[in-house]
Amino acid sequence: MMNRIMYIFFIASSLVTFTGHTANLSNASKAIVKLYVTQQSWDMAQPWTKKPSNKKVCTGFFVAEGILTNAHCVADATYIEMEVPSLAEKIEANIISVNHQVDLALLAPKEQVFNVHLSPITFGKLPASREKVVTIGYPLGGRQISYTEGVVSRVDFMVYAHSNISNLLVQTDAAINPGNSGGPVFSDRTGECMGVATQKSKSGEAVGYFIPRPVIKQFLSDIADNITDGIPALGTTALQPLENPILRKYLGLKPDQSGIRILDIAKDSSVDGLLKRDDVLLSIEGNQIQNDGRISIKNIGKISFRYHITTKQVGDEIKLGILRKGSPKNIKIKLRPHHLTIIPWMPQYDKKPHYYVVGGLVFRTVETRYLQEWGRDWLNKMPAIFQIYLNTVYGKDDLEELVVISNILNAPVNKGYEDWYRNKRVTKVNGNTINRMDDIINAFEMVQGRKFHVIELENNAKIVLDIELVKSEEDKINERYNIQ
């Protein structure tokens, strides 16, 4: 990601505020821009190439730090232009920072200075239930800015469609259609900006969601040093509710105690070496954790205990109260990045797939973008092996990445090895255990004195390649299949 671009806004007045009349929301349109984005993602079937480019329209708006929009609007972007009110021509924009976990991105105009009067938008508090809100943006179907009214129905921890990671979201019945993404959502009562429109429900009609202030605040604070650390995670990948009284008694909880049981801990996570399986999380930052894993937050109500983690920064310290073998303890932990499973739940946007080709065998790490090749219902249609490893904790049995043979490019060197060998976990290469892609590369490069490459799969199958034949056919295979 590029370093922050310094640029100047000509501010006509102080930060935007409103008096609570809907008509005054029209002033906000001066700070809202239309984004024209060209995207080109990687081809998961042939990871050395890209798919044809496509174009989309989104919304963004000026805040003190730059132009705020959704990460999904600029994922895999190759070119971005923005249409600014009162300017005759579109302006090229660059990405300053992006966090795909929370579906937020910050842009800047490529020109350092442009003479337009703009007032950056500031954010209000979390909206109240039943509060009337107005979504402003550029949905498909017209060229003019659009205003859509709705009502807040709930504030809760929910899954972000872009990242498959849960965080705070606000649900509303204000329409959020293609093109609205990245636009501001205002309170009709106070005129304050409540958040950023982000997604709509796949199943419910007239149900949309926007990202509220606490998530936006965490994002903007995170990128202030021009580095995106992302949201931290505790590292407890599996937690068991303790709503059964017999289970609580078995674990040594007293009648006035509540919490959740720890099942698995990710390697190198925030609590690695500090918590153990069968520990019970009793409290976080002094807030009692209930037996369903929720805590009580003022103005929100009951919500996932992870709220106290996602509002923090990587490197922050938090306090945990735990119960270990019936004895209560208090510990401090330093929060680390969100990396919990060997198959990352979040698609690896903007990144080239990690692959390696030997003798026409395409080795690759399994990630969500690859799994999504099985269609919208990929969770149910992907190979059974992937379902087994989807929730495997990072570092379990030293496993850090799931490496498979994703394709076999037909050539004399691999004759007879057909599709039956695809999408099986590679366990060993030339006698070396494979726990990550780097192990594959190292194993194939250390061939001194060997005549054959021996690849062992999890189903006990073996693939044997003649090393001299691999070397002699490598250039032909690369040319035949246009491998760069």
DSSP output for 342-394: SS-SS--TTS---EEEETTEEEEE--HHHHGGG-TTHHHHS-HHHHHHTTPBT
Residue 223 included in any domain: no
The CATH number of whichever domain residue 56 belongs to comes to 2.40.10.120
Cβ contact 184:72 at 8 Å = no
Examine the residue annotation and report whether 453 is marked as an active-site residue of this protein: no
Angle, vertex CA 357, rays to CA 354 and CA 360, nearest 5: 145
Helix or strand or coil: residue 189?
coil
Catalytic residue among 41, 76, 100, 103: 103
pLDDT, tens digit (0-9, with 9 covering 90-100), for 56-66: 999 999 999 99
Asked if residue 292 and residue 383 are part of one domain, the reply reads: no
Quote the number of domains for the chain. Answer: 3
Catalytic residue among 97, 119, 163, 181: 181
Asked if residue 380 and residue 326 are part of one domain, the reply reads: no
Residue 384 included in any domain: yes
Asked if residue 17 and residue 109 are part of one domain, the reply reads: yes
Number of Cα atoms under 13 Å in the Cβ half of residue 203: 1
Cβ contact 237:220 at 8 Å = no
Asked if residue 80 and residue 174 are part of one domain, the reply reads: yes
- C-alpha pair distances (Å), 420 with each of 389, 423, 430, 457: 19, 8, 21, 11
Asked if residue 237 and residue 157 are part of one domain, the reply reads: no
The CATH number of whichever domain residue 426 belongs to comes to 3.20.190.20
Looking at residue 200, what is its pLDDT? 83
Cα Rg, the chain, nearest whole Å: 26
Catalytic residue among 41, 72, 222, 308: 72
Looking at residue 140, what is its pLDDT? 77
Asked if residue 141 and residue 19 are part of one domain, the reply reads: yes
Range of the domain at 287: 232-337
Asked if residue 169 and residue 22 are part of one domain, the reply reads: yes
Looking at residue 227, what is its pLDDT? 93
Please identify every stretch of the chain with a pLDDT value under 50, giving residue numbers as ranges: 1-23, 113-115
- C-alpha pair distances (Å), 461 with each of 3, 357, 456, 457: 48, 19, 6, 5
Looking at residue 18, what is its pLDDT? 35
Q: Which of 337, 368, 400 is the last residue of a domain?
A: 337
Residue 201 included in any domain: no
Helix or strand or coil: residue 474?
helix
Residue 242 included in any domain: yes
Looking at residue 329, what is its pLDDT? 96
pLDDT, tens digit (0-9, with 9 covering 90-100), for 209-260: 999 999 999 999 999 999 999 999 999 988 999 999 999 999 999 999 999 9
Residue 389 included in any domain: yes
Asked if residue 439 and residue 317 are part of one domain, the reply reads: no
Identify the CA nearest to 63 among candidates 16, 27, 13, 1: 16
Examine the residue annotation and report whether 72 is marked as an active-site residue of this protein: yes
Helix or strand or coil: residue 65?
coil
Residue 376 included in any domain: yes
The CATH number of whichever domain residue 331 belongs to comes to 2.30.42.10
Examine the residue annotation and report whether 103 is marked as an active-site residue of this protein: yes
Q: How far apart are CA 420 and CA 220, in angstroms?
A: 48
Q: Which of 304, 337, 370 is the last residue of a domain?
A: 337
Asked if residue 461 and residue 321 are part of one domain, the reply reads: no
Residue 262 included in any domain: yes
Residue 396 included in any domain: yes
Asked if residue 363 and residue 333 are part of one domain, the reply reads: no
